[in-house]
């Protein structure tokens, strides 16, 4: 005897008059934005796609007032060990979970780091609430970067936000403290990024790399450091850290891309001073804009206070 299949709550679309006579597959593509890969998967599911409560071929013509429902099978991350770890939840509904990641936590278990990750904490949180989801982060943050992290609860939500990221319509704002006084009030770093051939775990700006664009704005200048806001146009690995080093202003506390010999503040900052402050995107189901913010964490607030105390604010 097999266990009963569990489904997420359906995505519902009531056919408006202007879609009268439209094919079901066209509505699913154009109105709900479902990928061909997801639709192929849903067709194999017993209750995947229904019209007025009945399974129909996607080539059927719809009439105004028809109720289209899409149901996805509930999934679990069986390979992730649930752990009772603190989570700072910024936003949650049936499609998304957005958390404020603390510095030092890895997002997903990797070789040598099977516990103590955001994934372990999220899987435990869902199980305690009786929810069944596969852990699907729609983007990543470096271990030592804090801030907004979005996790999709189903394949449709993941697909929708991933497509927005590829289209460049997702807003990703960061705050950082960097070495040196940034002269311009703002600017753009347009520098392709790829692996360093001599150190594969390190990224460098190179003409033959993958396109990478970072916009920056000065928030406050000090005698030897600058507080900046950064907006990512692309999302390459270590992009902000690589780009700021490239223009001569590496992040405070960045052990991989920081200045030779450290040149750190007294006392030294234990991580790269980088915080994902804001994430903006269109909600995958509600189709409304979401802007989710995470306040500057205590360690970076203290860093800014320390810099202000020992270095005069510049004009």
What is the model's pLDDT at position 1? Answer: 32
Closest of 34, 237, 212 to residue 142, by C-alpha: 237
What is the model's pLDDT at position 2? Answer: 43
- Chain-wide mean pLDDT for the chain? 91
| Range in 108-112, 141-145, 164-168 with the lowest mean pLDDT | 108-112
Indicate if 21 and 114 belong to the same structural domain. Answer: no
Indicate if 188 and 222 belong to the same structural domain. Answer: yes
Answer whether residue 74 shows pLDDT above 90: no
What pLDDT band is residue 42 in, cutting at 50, 70 and 90? Answer: confident
Indicate if 197 and 223 belong to the same structural domain. Answer: yes
Closest of 171, 185, 169, 272 to residue 231, by C-alpha: 171
79 belongs to a structural domain: no
Token pair of 67, please? 């109720």
Question: CATH number for the domain including 160?
Answer: 3.30.2350.10
Query: Of 148, 166, 184, which marks where a domain is finished?
Result: 166
Contact 80, 119 (CB under 8 A): yes
78 belongs to a structural domain: no
Contact 122, 138 (CB under 8 A): no
Q: How far apart are CA 275 and CA 277, in angstroms?
A: 6
215 belongs to a structural domain: yes
Indicate if 55 and 105 belong to the same structural domain. Answer: no
Report the relative pairing of strands 67-70 and 11-14 from DSSP bridges.
antiparallel
State whether residue 304 is helix, strand or coil: helix
Indicate if 103 and 227 belong to the same structural domain. Answer: no
255 belongs to a structural domain: yes
Contact 214, 178 (CB under 8 A): no
Q: How far apart are CA 297 and CA 293, in angstroms?
A: 12
CA distance readout (Å), 72 to 27, 149, 188:
17, 23, 42
Candidate list 9, 79, 88, 142, residue with the active-site label: 142
Indicate if 17 and 53 belong to the same structural domain. Answer: yes
Contact 110, 118 (CB under 8 A): no
Q: What is the CA angle 45-48-49, rounded to 5?
A: 135
> What does the pLDDT average to over 86-107?
96
Token pair of 248, please? 């001569």
What is the model's pLDDT at position 101? Answer: 98
Answer whether residue 36 shows pLDDT above 70: yes
Indicate if 242 and 117 belong to the same structural domain. Answer: no
Q: What is the pLDDT of residues 231-252, one digit of tens each?
A: 999 999 999 999 999 999 999 9
> What does the pLDDT average to over 266-270?
79
Query: Of 135, 166, 197, which marks where a domain is finished?
Result: 166
Indicate if 129 and 156 belong to the same structural domain. Answer: yes
75 belongs to a structural domain: no
Report the relative pairing of strands 146-152 and 274-282 from DSSP bridges.
parallel
83 belongs to a structural domain: no
Question: CATH number for the domain including 41?
Answer: 3.10.290.10
What pLDDT band is residue 95 in, cutting at 50, 70 and 90? Answer: very high
Count of CB atoms situated within 10 Å of the CB of 159? 19
pLDDT-above-70 percentage for the chain:
95
What is the model's pLDDT at position 71? Answer: 85
Token pair of 210, please? 């993958």
What pLDDT band is residue 4 in, cutting at 50, 70 and 90? Answer: low
Indicate if 206 and 139 belong to the same structural domain. Answer: no
| Percent helix, percent strand, percent coil in the chain, to nearest 5 | 20, 30, 50
Token pair of 282, please? 């269109």
Q: What is the pLDDT of residues 11-31, one digit of tens each?
A: 888 999 999 999 998 999 888
273 belongs to a structural domain: yes
Q: What is the pLDDT of residues 163-216, one digit of tens each?
A: 999 999 999 999 999 999 999 999 999 999 999 999 999 999 999 999 999 999
What is the model's pLDDT at position 170? Answer: 96
Answer whether residue 263 shows pLDDT above 80: no
Query: What is the secondary structure of 146-206 as a DSSP string?
Result: EEEEEEESSHHHHHHHHHHHHHT--EEEEEEEEES---SSEEEEE--EEEETTEEEEEEE-
Indicate if 160 and 180 belong to the same structural domain. Answer: no
Query: Of 136, 166, 196, which marks where a domain is finished?
Result: 166
Q: Could you give the number of structural domains in the chain? A: 3
CA distance readout (Å), 169 to 141, 164, 187, 232:
19, 5, 20, 11
List the domain range (segments joined by +) for residue 272. 171-310
Indicate if 190 and 153 belong to the same structural domain. Answer: no
pLDDT-above-90 percentage for the chain:
71
Query: Is position 19 annotated as part of the catalytic site?
Result: no
Q: How far apart are CA 257 and CA 246, in angstroms?
A: 9
């Amino acid at each position: 005897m097999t266990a009963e299949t569990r489904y997420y709550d359906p995505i519902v679309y009531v056919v408006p008059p202007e879609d009268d006579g439209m094919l079901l597959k066209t509505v699913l593509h154009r109105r709900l934005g479902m990928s061909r890969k997801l639709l192929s998967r849903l067709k194999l599911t017993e209750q995947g796609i229904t019209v007025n409560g009945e399974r129909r071929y996607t080539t059927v013509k719809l009439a105004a007032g028809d109720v289209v429902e899409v149901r996805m099978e509930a999934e679990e991350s069986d390979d992730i060990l649930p752990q009772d770890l603190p989570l700072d939840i910024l936003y949650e509904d049936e499609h998304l979970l957005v958390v404020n990641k603390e510095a030092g936590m890895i997002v997903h278990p990797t070789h040598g780091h099977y516990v103590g990750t955001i994934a372990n904490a999220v899987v435990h949180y869902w199980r305690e609430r009786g929810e069944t989801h596969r852990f699907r982060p729609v983007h990543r943050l470096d271990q030592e970067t804090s801030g907004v992290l979005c996790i999709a609860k189903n394949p449709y939500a993941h697909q929708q936000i991933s497509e927005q990221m590829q289209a460049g319509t997702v807003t990703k704002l960061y705050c950082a403290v960097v070495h040196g006084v940034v002269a311009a009030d703002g600017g753009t770093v347009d520098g392709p990024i790829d692996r360093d051939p001599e150190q594969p775990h390190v990224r460098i700006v190179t003409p033959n790399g993958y396109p990478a664009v970072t916009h920056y704005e000065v928030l406050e200048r000090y005698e030897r450091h600058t507080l900046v806001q950064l907006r990512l146009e692309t999302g390459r690995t270590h992009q902000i850290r690589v780009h700021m080093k490239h223009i001569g202003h590496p992040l405070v506390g960045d052990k991989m891309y920081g200045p030779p010999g450290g040149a750190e503040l007294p006392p030294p900052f234990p991580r790269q001073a980088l915080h994902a402050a804001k994430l903006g995107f269109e909600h995958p189901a509600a189709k409304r804009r979401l802007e989710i913010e995470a306040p500057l964490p205590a360690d970076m607030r203290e860093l800014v206070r320390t810099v202000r105390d020992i270095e005069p604010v510049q004009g």
